[in-house]
Amino acid sequence: MNLMKYRAAQVVSTANLVSKFKKQNLRRVLMYHSVLKNTESAFRKSDIYSISETYFTSHVEYLARQSNSVNRRVVSLEDSSSSGVSVTFDDGYKDTLTIAAPILCKKNLPFHVFVTPANVISGDNRYLSEAELVSLSKLPGVTIGAHGFSHQHLNTLQATEITDELMSSKDWLENLTQRNITTMSYPHGAFNSQVQEIAASVGYLYAATSSWGCYQVGVKPLEIPRIDVWNLDNQTTLKQKLNGQWDWIGKLLSPLQATIK
């Protein structure tokens, strides 16, 4: 999504021209990826999924101020509360530990990190190392989940391959962190009924998608929709997304993702 398209969407959402109903009584699950130092983010403005430390800090400060609000209180993904906000990160970037985690922990906000073991094993310094992942898993309020073993489109694989991806990622993370891994997010947001059935059979209780929307807690826990957070989302935009003013864009999600990924 280029700047012009983003600004146009921002105008529509700010004016609340499309979203007539604000689903305040449902869970909003935020989907982050990478949080960059401000100097670095200036060179990666084209990466829509890499948000600046400044914007991320403003998001966390806003969420922390909402701790007494039922609809805005930050809760774990597995929390039984019908409303609230859950914070998730995909892929297991190193900056989740070095930048995002300290900001969230300072405000005592829980969050989920969905990790792809192959990224860790690769030695690519953009991602967490094994030691860093262990350190992250021990922080208060952190839950580690899986994100496939090698970040494949699970809906294109055979049943045996899906099972291997989901089971091996779960086993690897459990062995490393000594934590039970019962949550995951689908790599590329790609899943189907077969993927969901296998996920349940190997022990996953919750699975997050890349589909835009609210989560009705207890309904389809292996198909949890989320709200994309993008690099140009300031605090005002975050509030709008939590209010449902950007929900209209969910109807355009498929062509939009083709543009921005």
Q: Could you report the per-residue pLDDT of 94-150, keeping only the tens digit for each? A: 999 999 999 999 999 999 999 999 999 999 999 999 999 999 999 999 999 999 999
Q: Residue 259 pLDDT > 50, yes or no?
A: no
pLDDT class of 255 with cuts at 50, 70, 90: very low
At residue 260, the pLDDT reads 36
Q: Residue 40 pLDDT > 80, yes or no?
A: no
Angle at 251 between CA 246 and CA 252, to 5 degrees: 90
* Average per-residue pLDDT for the chain: 90
Pull the structure tokens for residue 164.
Answer: 């291997």
Give tens-digit pLDDT for 195-246.
999 999 999 999 999 999 999 999 999 999 999 999 999 999 999 999 999 8
Contacts of 208 (CB under 8 A, 6+ apart): 29, 31, 77, 88, 112, 114, 145, 183, 184, 185, 186, 224, 226
* pTM of the complete model: 0.90
CATH of domain 24-231+244-260: 3.20.20.370
Domain map of the chain by residue range? 24-231+244-260
